[in-house]
Structure 1
């Protein structure tokens, strides 16, 4: 497997699959190729490299400017076996729970919106009934005025 190809996946995907770890004093980061930056310890959580730690430049994931290509594995790749499979399963379960949590949040927002919409509907229906009542009263008033005008006109003629 080509290491550089594995890590150089699309930057948006890479950022989601990497996390910066704490660097211990007894295990210093190797120097970076950049003049003004140091390397940082990261952990990849891809299916191929579950919990595989590495060093790369803190500027390697920069959105703008030149990106440093410094990269070095910190530890050996985990062998395919029980622990690697368990980490994959835990990662899958965590992702599923996060997705469920997001769906749950959206469902709660939907319920609140439906309740607000129902409250607004009741207010609008009440307002519509009041306007309908006023409309009827205006029609009756206009009808009475027309009758009065016709009656007065007939008396004058």
Structure 2
């Protein structure tokens, strides 16, 4: 079952349960998928594109959460946090920092990288291999830590 089908089923469930936050979050995801489809003139959306959409939406909500929290708007920050949790359910299982470090060490060994000058090589392989399992910022930070 595709992400779009899963989202549609989750929307139905959220409607039955009258869960406004989940419903708003899921509708936003569905909207982004439909937008991507129309840009591609009806072409199918790949799993990688779906994961990228979800990660982008989570990042947007995380940024909004941080801004609202910094301004003391906890009511709005709580909504953003709840929406993040709803969207995260549809991402693949995220790597723990220990698992990420293990994966990154393997990628560094595979690419033969030794210094920060080789960061580009490592990031290219890491983003393809770990895409969806960890966000780009975490991958980048771990790569820099291991290469320095």
Verify same fold: TM over 0.5. no
Q: TM-score, with normalisation over the residues of structure 2?
A: 0.30
TM-score by length of 1: 0.29
* Structure with the larger strand share: 1
Task: Compare CA radii of gyration and give the structure with the larger one.
Answer: 1
Q: Which has the higher helix share?
A: 2
| Higher RCO (CA < 8 A, seq sep 6+) | 2
